[in-house]
Amino acid sequence: MKAIQINKPGDISPIDIPQPVLKAGEVLIKVCYAGFCGSDLNTYRGGNALAKMPVIPGHEIGGVIVDVGSNVSDSQLNENFSIGLPCTVNPYTACGTCSSCRNGRPNACRFNQTLGVQRDGAMCEYIAVPREKVIADPEISPKDFCLVEPLSVGFHAVRRGEVTVHDVVMVIGCGMIGIGAIAGAIQRGASVIAVDIDDNKLLLAKQLGATYTINSLTNNVHDRLQTITENTGSDVVIEAVGSPATYQMAVNEVAFTGRVVCIGYAKEQVAFETRYFVQKELDIRGSRNAMPEDFRAVMEYLKKGDCPVEKFISAIYPPAQVVEAFRHWTANPARTLKILIEFASTDN
């Protein structure tokens, strides 16, 4: 079957691999679409320390169930489970014994292996996964299911920030994760300020319901934020970029006794005015991956039908054009939101 592999930094190509053979307790999924994540671009560039090489990427999955192994029944998955049902996959593993797992937060398992990062992923025609990892719903298309995992990471950050209807939330970075955080905060009734360097992404944030947008290249973020919040700052700041400047912005601009939620991985050390940690009595929280309830929250959000999902997808390529896809992405990272690879038409 067709698959895509990152062979080494700067080298990605289509390959042929055997179709998986179902084991007991597994479900076979026909992958219709698989999305590229920012971590895949970092792997391609040689900057993802977590990724093994070579690796088949892909943890943003939209497909249909085509077969089940022994010991899998409808009741073990969900009451609507059936062959042909659109689905996605929870791509994380959990050991069940580390401190994160014992504390009920398996999304941050110390020994997690995400599909397409520490182990081969779903950028291929078929994938077999344990039944408990299948997330299916007849009301969501395979293409839209590709968006569930990245949006759920943003929803999880909002939950980590304990966002409420009373909060002003500043989201720094309007890529797919930041878009998820914006949507998640709006679903909780918060007032959202979106910050990015690209006006098109800021326009999308506005369409999602952001109350204010700030282009940090052309505006002084501090001055704008002080005007908007009447000199208090944001109750919650969600960092979804991963650069020293945006990490510093998050700490500098959050309100006294505010919450800072960090999603992005900075590639270099960050120097902080640590007095703000104490003077503001800040809660600074990491946010990693997502929990099953975050997946469900995103799915309910998508089923409302008022989310402009078509605007999240920058381009769709066939597997044979993956090199072209990465060349485009590398040349236009700030303007690219989500690239999908189409392995099978959903009309079939």
d(CA 206, CA 216): 15
Residue reference for tokens 């002003």? 168
In which band, very low, low, confident or very high, does the pLDDT at 348 lie, cut at 50, 70 and 90?
A: very low
pLDDT above 70 for 291: yes
233-254, pLDDT tens digit by residue? 999 999 999 999 999 999 999 9
pLDDT at position 81, please?
63
- The sheet carrying 212-215 orders its strands as 212-215, 191-196, 168-172, 234-239, 254-262, 283-286
Helix (H, G, I), strand (E, B), or coil: what is residue 115? strand
Helix intervals (H) in 73-165: 74-77, 99-102, 142-145, 148-160
Across the range 74-92, mean pLDDT stands at: 76
pLDDT at position 345, please?
72
d(CA 237, CA 264): 13
296-312, pLDDT tens digit by residue? 999 999 999 989 999 99
pLDDT above 60 for 74: no
Residue 301 has phi, psi (to 5 degrees) of -60, -45
In which band, very low, low, confident or very high, does the pLDDT at 26 lie, cut at 50, 70 and 90?
A: very high
Across the range 187-216, mean pLDDT stands at: 97
pLDDT at position 193, please?
98
Nearest to 222 by CA among 187, 258, 172, 270: 172
pLDDT above 80 for 346: no
Tell me the whole-structure pTM to 2 decimals: 0.95
198's tokens: 């690209």
